[in-house]
A = this chain, B = another copy of it.
């Protein structure tokens, strides 16, 4: 069973936006055992859309179309799909009510006819309600093949895929059972891990595949199997995991299927009834932002001080001026003082601090670009480590954020 993705929008072709939808769709379909035959990105052009639909119908069983569903003139996907299906547009009452509700509740400008036209859908289509926006998803079928047209806005598309499209596909088709189990590791590179587990990898049965997924100082090891016999496959994968874990005990974080490292940390802090605060310099709020991207963290996360300027470290975090002068602002001493002081200020069990040089230019410190000190304070002690995360600003910030979580994970899970 194969799928094709068609993404529509001039903004993709002129490079104004990066198409992240396709990677999400690739992953989502991979999980249910459907491979993507082709991803085709085209402009908002009637002839080209019709051609792409025809070719996709020839090649794939499931055709996912994203984009071009906005209310303005340049968005022609809906009309063109309607034409492809020899169909006419009809007003869907539920969508109209939803659009009117969104306008009355969230939007200050009055609703217009253009907005109301979002409720027009091909008469043969099954509507997929879009909780997060005005353009509905549309499900159409032709010669046993499924066409789904979705809005291009990533979070709207993602919700529709996860909540509506995948469940409906599961009802319509019978997919083989696919099992992924992904081991999260940190601190050791891809090829070093490959060397370490070479014997195990070579002895894997042929229907279980291993993929190395390296990213910013972490490597995910994904075991994947496909089978009609669910129980047998699960047992086999568990057996392989049991053989693997003793070889990577020192770098093992957990299983991705149980949640990200932030989730694992949050669950553990909640379980222990412990709290956390942060003092961020070079990470500039990134650690707080990653934590608070998840709901429900206020149980254990009390807050952060982003002391971006050196004077803020002195005035707000009460780091000693003399320490900054003697050791420089990127130093063990300053990192540890930041962690100790912020822990007291927020009255938490743990505190983490970062101070470093993310580049591209040296800031208030002479430390080499990429240098980051990370400190962790508990009620009884404080300790710190120094890293060099290279010379790419975003990467330095993200790697420091990852490393901060790893230090905390080690601390709160230690026996």
Contacts and interface: CB of A to CB of B under 8 A. Distances in A.
Contacts of A188: 109
Given A112-B195, A132-B390, A191-B71, A26 B36 contact: no
A89 interface: no
A26 B38 contact: no
A276 B26 CA distance: 42
Interface SS of chain A:
mixed
B361 A296 contact: yes
Interface stretch (A229-237, A320-328, A393-401): A393-401
A143 interface: no
B303 A303 contact: no
Contact of A36 (B13, B316, B363, B388): B13
Q: Which of A112, A192, A306, A361 has the most CB of B within 10 A?
A: A306
B302 A305 contact: no
B315 A309 contact: no
Interface stretch (A76-84, A119-127, A283-291): A283-291
A267 interface: no
Interface in A279-302: 280, 284-289, 291-293, 295-298, 301-302
A303 B309 contact: yes
B19 A24 contact: no
Interface stretch (A168-176, A206-214, A257-265, A373-381): A206-214
B30 A23 contact: no
**Copies of this chain per assembly:** 2
Contacts of A92: none
Nearest to A291: B284
Interface in A6-39: 10-20, 22-28, 30, 35-39
Q: How large, as a class, is the contact surface on chain A? A: 35 or more
Contacts of A73: 194, 201
A228 B399 CA distance: 45
Q: Which of A26, A188, A214 has the most CB of B within 10 A?
A: A26
Interface in A341-373: 345-347, 358-361, 363-364, 370
Contacts of A303: 305-309, 312, 316
A304 interface: yes
Interface in A386-415: 388-395, 397
A277 B306 CA distance: 10
B71 A388 contact: no
Given A284-B292, A292-B284, A308 B312 contact: no
Contact of A107 (B38, B189, B309): B189
A38 B52 CA distance: 10
Contacts of A304: 285, 304-306, 308
Contacts of A191: 71-72, 112, 114-115
Contact of A358 (B10, B190, B295): B295
A91 interface: no
A189 B360 CA distance: 37
Contacts of A200: none
Given A13-B39, A72-B190, A213-B16, A347 B315 contact: yes
Interface in A197-250: 201, 210-214, 222
Given A12-B39, A17-B23, 8 more contacts: A38-B40, A40-B40, A106-B389, A109-B192, A131-B392, A155-B394, A285-B285, A292-B306
Interface of A: 10-20, 22-28, 30, 35-43, 48, 70-74, 105-107, 109, 112, 114-115, 131-132, 155, 188-192, 194-195, 201, 210-214, 222, 277-278, 280, 284-289, 291-293, 295-298, 301-309, 311-312, 315-316, 345-347, 358-361, 363-364, 370, 388-395, 397
Q: Which 7 A-B pairs have the closest CB atoms?
A: A284-B292, A15-B26, A285-B288, A15-B27, A285-B285, A39-B41, A304-B306
